[in-house]
A and B are shown apart, each in its own frame.
Chain A
Amino acid sequence: MKINYRQLSIMVFLSFISLKFLALPSVMYITSGNMSWLVALVLMIIDGLYAFMLVGLMKKCKDKNINEFLINTVGVVLAKIIFILLSAQFIIQIINLTKGLEFFVVENFYDDFNWLIYVLPLIILTGFMMYKGIRNIARVEEMFCWAITIGCIYIALKCITCTDPRAFLPMFKDGVAPLFHSAFKHYSWFGSATFLIMLFGKVDFTNAKKSVLIKYVVFAILLVQFLYFVFYGLFDTTSPTHNFCLSDVSQFSSNESIIDELSWLVVSLWVIAQALQLAVYGYCLVLSVMFAFNIKAKIPVIIAIDLLMFSLGYIGEKTVNFEQFFFNPAVSALFIFNEFVIPFILLIGYGVKRKKDRRKAKVVEDESIKIVV
């Protein structure tokens, strides 16, 4: 049940653009002002570099899944710790996506919102996709990828004539410190390459063209930058009051032609993109929990994830302030650790293991030579 390299690249692409068009551009503006696009650009480039590194490592370990790979390279204890940390990240990403999508759906689809009506279809869909596995998710993403992308480009192009490039001036008016602060504060919206760790051993690299992944990553970065350019160019200092990049931009139409009615279709496609990304994170969470706690059955973990998503609507608002939760430095630190440190642990572990294997092979060779002599 492996996915091909093109499907992997599409998954990376959708992972890179998901979350970026909801509340992020609006909340980032508060900290980093009109230079927020630069923060997003730098963080996405870092995500891209880690994606290439992880895929490179994935190629080297061939058919081994991440559990076997980690146990062989860094040992059982460290492997379990890594899986627990990854599980925590995936849980936060699922919460972030579920809540983000909820606000998006409330804003665009309903006058009287009912949590049950929102969450039940989502749980059924993502639960089914988690159960069916990564190949199923990859195939569905492949199916919708271009419709989603064309939709986003259409929204941005439609409003581009109304943007004011002066909104980006003056540049660096508060220096670079707010940019670093913003990057750290909003890191939980990034870390888009971490899910690749869970796909070790699940990708078929036969006939894979290296350039495919590069193209998709570059395209994702350009697309996000393009939409941010339109968003900040349209709303400038009022950006923090516009909660949803995609739907708010789409309302800012340059003309009243009939074709503008297509905006709701694009908004709808974005719901699909978020649901698919939720399935990806859900699947990764299922695997990491199973590996962390040696659980053999998939279904109980899926049910637990679904229950978590279900409960968000009831416990969330009263006990947890989600906004503060996502901006919590500990959450950012976790994401940064997972994306910056874990791939290096994998890389070092792989290097040490390879050295050991070579040494072992040499010893065996020497012994066999001695026996022959």
Chain B
Amino acid sequence: MEVQVDKIKKQIEKKLHKSSDLKSRTVQFFGTDICIMYIADITDNLLLNESLIYPITSYLKTTDEDVYTTIKEKVLSNNEVGEADTVQQAIDELLTGKTLVIIDGAEKILTCDNEKVVTRTVGEPPTSVVIKGPREGFTESIKYNLALVRRRVKSDDLVVQNIELGKLTKTQISVLYFDSVADKNVVKKIMRRLKNIVIDGVIDSHYLVSYLQKNPKSLFKQVGDTEKPDILVAKMLEGRVGILVDGSPIALTLPFILIEDLQNSDDYYSQPIRVTFVRLLRLIGVILAVMLPGVYVALELYHYKILPTEFLVTLMNTTEGIPFSPFIELFFVVLLFEILYEANLRMPQYFGMAMSIVGALILGDTAVNAGLVSPPAVMVVALSGITFYIIPSQAAQFSILRLIGLIIGACVGLYGILLFSVFIISYLSSFDSYNSAYLAPVSPYIADDKKDNFKRVIIKEMKRRPKSIAHNKDNSIRRRKDED
């Protein structure tokens, strides 16, 4: 390519539809025209002036070398200087925040990294609040996010593979893993799936989820996600692969198994006995969240005989005079809860508190006083609703399952609820996420992983990587005995 400044400049301007934020400045360098082109809002002006314009305009030494080589090797003080062979390649670089240095008569266009990273500061993510442990969360800038990971991993074993996705957005995707720990087949599979994605834009990491999971239409999530670098690194140490997407504060992790959601980063910074207790509480919470309304309706409609007499009398006293059947009553309260939740979520923060008071206290209390719903129904739904958020990442799934459980409880009774629970387990058992069984280490039972499933032993005793997660089998041991 024979570079002619005016021609190339016009070509680029035309290609970018004479976009207003496309800026250029032409300077002279020992008689040669040099055009500097950049996009104003994504370029760091200070850096541009200091590393590019000032060195070119103030360079005084004459040289025998050609202008292109002098500029590239002696004048520019950028840390990253690249070359574009074609105009299209140059435009692609320009759009990622790079500055083009177009030198008249040269064969290539120089590209310099002066990108201005526009992002919020690193803060504690709202969905992963911890009492103990690191509070740093990912931001929307992939550069910052990679820096947060790199800061924790000072090892040459960490691999970062970048690819670009989205025909229009050209979003940078970084795949991260430990070379000696991750299962190479899993990495290959993920890379293959990512490279096969044809999409016009990737706005958030969740755009990739449906491409990465085996059953994209399933209710249950099959790709892990985290907003915290410490969790991402911990998961990668177990053999998982992390995926960062530019513009998204959420990193994806694969393979994903269900028990991950019962575990919390706090667990690893607290006393093991307390952790075991809390994990069991979470499990009970999950069962209550999904099954409680269904079981309540089933007991009231079909199996009141199995209730202790005193409890039955209390229940009958409180439900007396309610004009609706237990199912309609509970369905109404569940629906009300879902509406309140949805409204609360979207409402501005300062309205939220007022809304909670109006919704939960006034509306609930009025409905009970008016005799539309019984206090046990409100209590059952409230308890089930609260337990949803023991595992917030699964709340959406639980909400649907609770509704199905409620309908089954009303139509079939306890027998239906039992078969429904077996059906859910059977359905989940059929998932395999990247060579890892979804319900592992419980089913299939993996004895070695019992150190960190429902219970947790002290970190010193976790000498092996979990077998539930596919990883490099030659590197299963985290710490050998002689290293203790």
Contacts and interface: CB of A to CB of B under 8 A. Distances in A.
Contact of A4 (B303, B408, B429, B444): B444
A125 B419 contact: yes
B396 interface: no
A46 interface: no
A135 B428 CA distance: 12
A124 B424 CA distance: 12
B96 to A, nearest CB: 46
A49 to B, nearest CB: 27
B445 A6 contact: yes
A271 B306 CA distance: 16
Given A7-B444, A109-B302, A261-B308, A143 B419 contact: no
Contacts of A286: none
A242 interface: no
A117 B414 CA distance: 12
Contact of B442 (A128, A135, A136, A143): A143
Contact of A136 (B303, B413, B426): B426
Given A109-B303, A132-B430, A118 B422 contact: no
Interface in B452-466: none
Contacts of B416: 117, 121
Interface residue range, chain B: 20 to 34
Interface string A251-281: 0000000100100100010011001100000
B315 to A, nearest CB: 15
Contact of B425 (A6, A143, A258): A143
A110 B413 contact: yes
- Quick one: which of B421, B425, B429 has the most chain A CB within 10 A? B429
B423 interface: yes
Contacts of B341: none
B412 interface: yes
A7 B444 CA distance: 8
A interface, over-half SS: helix
Nearest to A142: B443
Given A139-B439, A140-B425, A142-B444, A109 B413 contact: yes
Contacts of A117: 411-413, 416
B475 to A, nearest CB: 19
A268 B418 contact: yes
A206 to B, nearest CB: 13
Contact of B419 (A121, A132, A258): A121
Contacts of A275: 418-419, 422
A105 interface: yes
- Quick one: which of B412, B422, B444 has the most chain A CB within 10 A? B422
Nearest to A109: B415
B190 to A, nearest CB: 23
Contacts of B408: 121
A122 interface: yes
Interface in A96-142: 105, 109-111, 117-118, 121-122, 124-125, 128-129, 132, 135-137, 139-140, 142
A137 B306 CA distance: 30
A128 B302 contact: no
A139 B413 contact: no
B414 A268 contact: yes
A144 to B, nearest CB: 7
A111 B443 CA distance: 36
A110 B416 CA distance: 12
- Quick one: which of A105, A132, A136 has the most chain B CB within 10 A? A136
A109 B408 CA distance: 15
Given A7-B444, A132-B426, A109 B419 contact: no
B305 to A, nearest CB: 8
A271 B415 contact: yes
Contacts of A261: 306, 308
A143 B423 contact: no
Given A7-B444, A275-B422, A136 B430 contact: yes
B426 to A, nearest CB: 5
A306 to B, nearest CB: 14
B301 to A, nearest CB: 11
A140 B443 contact: yes
A279 B186 CA distance: 33
Nearest to A114: B412
A122 B308 contact: no
Contacts of B427: 128
B437 interface: yes
Nearest to B419: A121
A258 B408 CA distance: 28
B408 to A, nearest CB: 8
Contact of A121 (B308, B420, B429, B444): B420
Contacts of A110: 302, 413, 415
A139 B416 CA distance: 21
Contacts of A129: 426
Contacts of A136: 426, 429-430
A20 B302 CA distance: 27
Nearest to B442: A143
Nearest to B307: A261
Contacts of A122: 419
Contacts of B302: 109-111
Contacts of A132: 426, 429-430
A139 B414 contact: no
Interface of A: 4, 6-7, 105, 109-111, 117-118, 121-122, 124-125, 128-129, 132, 135-137, 139-140, 142-144, 258, 261, 264, 268, 271-272, 275-276
29 contacts: A109-B302, A109-B413, A109-B415, A110-B413, A111-B302, A121-B416, A122-B419, A124-B423, A125-B419, A125-B423, A128-B423, A132-B430, A135-B429, A136-B430, A139-B429, A139-B443, A140-B425, A140-B426, A142-B442, A142-B443, A143-B429, A261-B308, A268-B414, A271-B415, A271-B418, A271-B419, A272-B418, A275-B418, A275-B422
Which 8 pairs across A and B sit closest by C-beta, in order of nearness? A139-B429, A139-B443, A121-B419, A143-B443, A142-B443, A264-B306, A132-B430, A140-B426
